[in-house]
Amino acid sequence: MASVSFHDIKKAYGKVEVLHGLGFDIADGEFVVLVGPSGCGKSTLLRMLAGLEEISGGEIKIDGKVVNDLESKDRDIAMVFQSYALYPHMTVRDNMGFSLRLRKADAGATAKRVDEAARILNLDKLLDRFPRELSGGQRQRVAMGRAIVRDPKVFLFDEPLSNLDAKLRVAMRAEIKALHQRLKTTTVYVTHDQIEAMTMADRIVVMHDGIIEQIGTPLELFDRPGNLFVAQFIGSPAMNVFDGKVHGSVVKALGQEWPLPPGLVVAQGASVHFGIRPTDLMLSADGVAAEVVVVEPTGAETELLVEVGGQQVTVVMHGRTDAKPGETVHLTYDTTKAHAFDAANGKRL
C-alpha cells in the first residue's frame, strides 16, 4: 500500500497542452475516482502515474519517492483497463498467474496467490476455463484477479466497467468496492460516469479540460459544489439552473421570485445562476406555477418535466402523482438547499 502525490503535473502532446498543472494527494489506502467529460485528461493522468506516458512537467510521488524516471514495471502498480485483454489461449488460472510467472516467481507461491485471488473474486470454480467460456462480468473479474495476484502498492482502473451491461455494471461496482474494503489497497479509478464516482469513491476529483474543478467526498460535491460546472456534472438528473438577478433576498428569474438560501448575502442587482436539484423541488398547493410536460413514473419515484417561464425544469418526487401533461402544478423548495453561482465566473456564492 502507498500514498500517491501529484505536483503541478503538465502534459503536452507536441505543442498541445492537455494537462495544465494538476496537484493533489492520495492517502494510503484511499479510493479516489477521477471523473470528468470525455477528453478532459483522466486516462492521460492515470497513464502517467502508471509510467505508460511521459511526464511533461511536475512530479509524481509514490510513498514520498519521485517516480518520474522510474520504469513502469518498477513502480509496483497494477492497472485494469476497459478492454480486459485476457490471453485467449490460456485458462483463467494461467491468465491470473501470468505476471508472476513472467517474474519467475516460485510456482508454489504463484499457485497459492492465484487460489487466494480466485477465492476473493468467486472464480474458484472457473479456474480451468478459457476466457471464451466466461461471461463479460467473469472476464472482468479475471482481469481484476490478474491485478490482485501481483499484490501491488496501487491499483489503477480505467473505465473497467464500460463494456458491461447496466445490471452487471451495478453488481461489479459493488464488488470492486467490497474488494477495496477488504484489501485496502490505494486505488485510482477513472470513469466518466458520475454515478459510479459517487457510489465508489472516498474522494472524487472532478476534472475538466485538463484542470481540476473540485476535489471532495461525494456528498461534499453534491451538497456544496464549488462552481457551476461541478454543480451540473455531479447529480442525476442534473441540477436545474436559472439565470437571474438578485433583488433583496430573492433571485428574479423566469418571471418568478426564488428565495436565496437564508444567510446568503449577494450584491443587489448581481447576475447569478440559481440552482435547485430536482430532488429538492416539491409539488405543493401554492408556490411557483409550472406546466407539466412529461410524467415518468419509475415505481419508487416519479420524474416530472415541467415548464416555468419557457424553461424546462426537472422535478423528482418520491412516490406517485396524478399530475398529467398540460396541467398546472405548483413548486416549492427547501431554500437551505438552493445554490447560487456568480454569472461571470461560475463560482459558488
Ligand X SMILES: Nc1ncnc2c1ncn2[C@@H]1O[C@H](COP(=O)(O)OP(=O)(O)OP(=O)(O)O)[C@@H](O)[C@H]1O
Site for ligand X, rule CB under 6 A = 13, 18, 36, 38-44, 192
Among residues 43 and 186, whose Cβ is nearest to ligand X?
A: 43
Is residue 35 exposed (0-12), middle (13-18) or buried (19+ Cβ within 10 Å)?
buried
Contact 157, 80 (CB under 8 A): yes
Among residues 116 and 209, whose Cβ is nearest to Mg ion?
A: 209
Answer with the entry of ligand X, Mg ion, none that 203 interacts with (C-beta below 5 to 8 A by kind).
none
Contact 341, 348 (CB under 8 A): yes
Among residues 36 and 152, whose Cβ is nearest to ligand X?
A: 36
43 binding Mg ion? (CB under 5 A) = yes
Q: How far apart are CB 142 and Mg ion at their closest, in Å? A: 22
Among residues 43 and 138, whose Cβ is nearest to ligand X?
A: 43
Residues contacting residue 250 through CB under 8 Å, at least 6 positions apart = 257, 258, 259, 260
Q: How far apart are CB 159 and Mg ion at their closest, in Å? A: 6
CA distance 15 to 50: 23
Region at 68 (left for phi over 0; alpha for psi -120 to 50; beta for the rest): alpha
Helix (H, G, I), strand (E, B) or coil at 30: coil
Q: How far apart are CB 42 and Mg ion at their closest, in Å? A: 5
Among residues 205 and 281, whose Cβ is nearest to ligand X?
A: 205
Q: Where does this chain touch Mg ion (CB under 5 A) — which range of 3-11, 37-45, 236-244, 249-257?
A: 37-45
Q: Where does this chain touch Mg ion (CB under 5 A) — which range of 29-37, 38-46, 169-177, 193-201?
A: 38-46
Helix (H, G, I), strand (E, B) or coil at 114: helix
Q: How far apart are CB 207 and ligand X at their closest, in Å? A: 7
Q: How far apart are CB 44 and ligand X at their closest, in Å? A: 3
Neighbouring-strand partners of residue 136? none
Length of the chain: 349
Q: Where on the chain is the footprint of Mg ion (CB under 5 A)?
A: 43
